[in-house]
């Protein structure tokens, strides 16, 4: 039971800045997901919490104790590695028992605790095997058991599901979420998979170029992205980002005014980026109030819905609609964003 306070961490490797003044608060028993593309610093931040890297500036406080200079084994946390990092020369039992033995737990207790951890992860019948004799999914379970058996206050996970095939990943995702909830540990989970971030975390911290862009609940990050990058990194398909011109209480997209309410910090006439989710746009064959004309370019039936790619003037927009909507390429249709679904994502300086 512990919270983690990361205070103004900076880390440089030679000339590159891996972490740039990062501050983050992870609450007790919270499931925090660090999300970002490769090289964004999320793994560096995790390794810093674990104690494998030392920050150039800043402090890390776990459960009220400054652990910035404390070695990994003495921070009261356990880690699950991307490669699982099972010890090849030890059987599954001894792999799980390793940490307990390092902490001087008595042999009967070791046996009992390894047994119940193995039971929990459904690997009790594999205890006599060597890691090389296990499948990827089984290794994953051993790695999680090895961490959970320590009953850590904090558990760190570095892309633990990325080496599993798609179906297994789906299963383990739900199982891990349940396990960590039941174990009542604080969890920090690194991933580049936005679906994992949305589905597993209590909160998601989106990172890019060593900086935290946004820390919010998954639904807030999804619905109210802070900038163009977050909007396009999260969600399948990514949020539509349109170039627009700011008006008084509306924006002008390709010559059509869309109501957006009063926005502070923008002046009328400014070029802005406006985001809207594909499923928040109504598409119709008839012209309605405030609807924008668009031409269908691609129609993709995806089972649960139909994904349309359309040309809106000179811009491209994706729209998700019902499968019974009859449409074919080159059709002229009308688009109408739902009330309150438009997001201002900043000035239209960045590329997107």
Partner 1 sequence: MTTAVATRTATAARGRRRVEPGRLLLYGCAILVTLFMLTPVYLIALAALSPAQAIFDYPHPLIPTGISLDNIQFFLTFQGIVPALVRSLIVGGLTVVLSLLLGCPAGYALARYWFRGKDLLQLMLVNVRAIPMVIIAVPLLVTFIELNLDDSVISVALVHAAITLPLTILISASVFVRVPAELEEAAMSLGAGRLGAVLRVVLPNSVPGLATAALFAFVTSWNEVFVAVILTLRNTTLPAALVQQLQESPVGFRFAGGLCLTIPAFVFIFFMRPYLFNAFGVGGR
- Which positions lie near partner 1, rule CB under 8 A? 50-52, 71-74, 77-79, 81-83, 85-89, 98-99, 102-103, 146, 150
* Range list of β-strands (E), 92-170: 154-158
CB-based burial, 167-185: b 16+ in 10 Å, e otherwise: eebeebbeebbebbeebeb
CB of 325 to partner 1, least distance (A): 50
CB of 50 to partner 1, least distance (A): 6
Nearer to partner 1, 52 or 65 (CB): 52
CB of 74 to partner 1, least distance (A): 8
Taking the C-alpha atoms of residue 124 and residue 142, their distance in angstroms, rounded to an integer, is: 10
CB of 72 to partner 1, least distance (A): 4
CB of 80 to partner 1, least distance (A): 9
Nearer to partner 1, 34 or 78 (CB): 78
- The alpha helices in 163-254, defined as continuous H runs, are 166-183, 194-200, 218-223, 228-233
CB-based burial, 30-66: b 16+ in 10 Å, e otherwise: bbbbbbbeeebbbbbbbbbbbbebebeebebbbbeee
Nearer to partner 1, 162 or 309 (CB): 162
Taking the C-alpha atoms of residue 54 and residue 9, their distance in angstroms, rounded to an integer, is: 10
Taking the C-alpha atoms of residue 329 and residue 310, their distance in angstroms, rounded to an integer, is: 9
Nearer to partner 1, 147 or 234 (CB): 147
CB of 128 to partner 1, least distance (A): 16
Nearer to partner 1, 134 or 230 (CB): 134
Taking the C-alpha atoms of residue 267 and residue 263, their distance in angstroms, rounded to an integer, is: 9
Taking the C-alpha atoms of residue 98 and residue 143, their distance in angstroms, rounded to an integer, is: 12
Are 18 and 12 spatial neighbours (Cβ–Cβ below 8 Å)?
yes
CA dihedral 123→126→129→132, nearest 10 degrees, is -50
Nearer to partner 1, 83 or 135 (CB): 83
CB of 123 to partner 1, least distance (A): 17
Nearer to partner 1, 19 or 49 (CB): 49
Nearer to partner 1, 130 or 266 (CB): 130
Taking the C-alpha atoms of residue 225 and residue 234, their distance in angstroms, rounded to an integer, is: 9
CB of 78 to partner 1, least distance (A): 6
Residue 258 sits at φ, ψ, to 5 deg, of -120, 130
């Amino acid at each position: 039971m512990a919270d983690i306070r990361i205070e103004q961490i900076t880390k440089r490797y030679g000339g590159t800045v891996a972490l740039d003044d990062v501050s983050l608060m992870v609450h007790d028993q919270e499931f925090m997901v660090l999300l970002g593309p490769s090289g964004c610093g999320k793994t560096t931040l995790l390794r810093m919490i674990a104690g494998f890297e030392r920050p150039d500036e800043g402090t890390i406080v776990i459960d009220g104790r400054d652990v910035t200079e404390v070695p990994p084994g003495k921070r009261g946390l356990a880690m699950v590695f991307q490669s699982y990092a099972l010890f090849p020369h030890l059987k599954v039992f001894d792999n799980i028992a390793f940490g307990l033995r390092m902490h001087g737990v008595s042999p009967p207790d070791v046996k009992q605790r390894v047994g119940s951890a193995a039971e929990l992860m459904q690997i009790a019948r594999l205890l006599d095997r060597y890691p090389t004799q296990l499948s990827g999914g089984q290794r994953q379970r051993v790695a999680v058991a090895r961490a959970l058996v320590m009953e850590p206050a904090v558990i760190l996970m570095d892309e633990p599901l990325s080496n599993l095939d798609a179906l297994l990943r789906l299963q383990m995702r739900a199982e891990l979420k349940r396990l960590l909830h039941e174990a009542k540990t604080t969890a920090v989970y690194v991933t580049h998979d936005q679906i994992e971030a949305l589905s597993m975390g209590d909160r998601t911290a989106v990172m890019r170029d060593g900086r935290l862009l946004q820390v919010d609940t998954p639904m807030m990050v999804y619905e109210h992205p802070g900038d163009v990058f977050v909007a396009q990194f999260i969600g399948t398909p990514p949020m539509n980002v349109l170039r627009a011109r700011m008006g008084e209480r509306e924006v002008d997209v390709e010559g059509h005014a869309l109501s957006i309410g009063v926005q502070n910090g923008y002046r009328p006439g400014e070029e802005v980026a406006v985001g809207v989710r594909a499923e928040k746009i109504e598409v119709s064959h008839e012209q309605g109030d405030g609807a924008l004309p668009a031409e269908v370019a691609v129609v993709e039936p995806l089972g649960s819905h139909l994904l349309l790619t359309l040309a809106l003037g000179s811009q491209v927009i994706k729209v998700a609609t019902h499968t019974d909507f009859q449409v074919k390429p080159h059709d002229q249709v009308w688009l109408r964003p739902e009330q309150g679904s438009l997001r201002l994502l900043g000035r239209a300086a960045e590329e997107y």
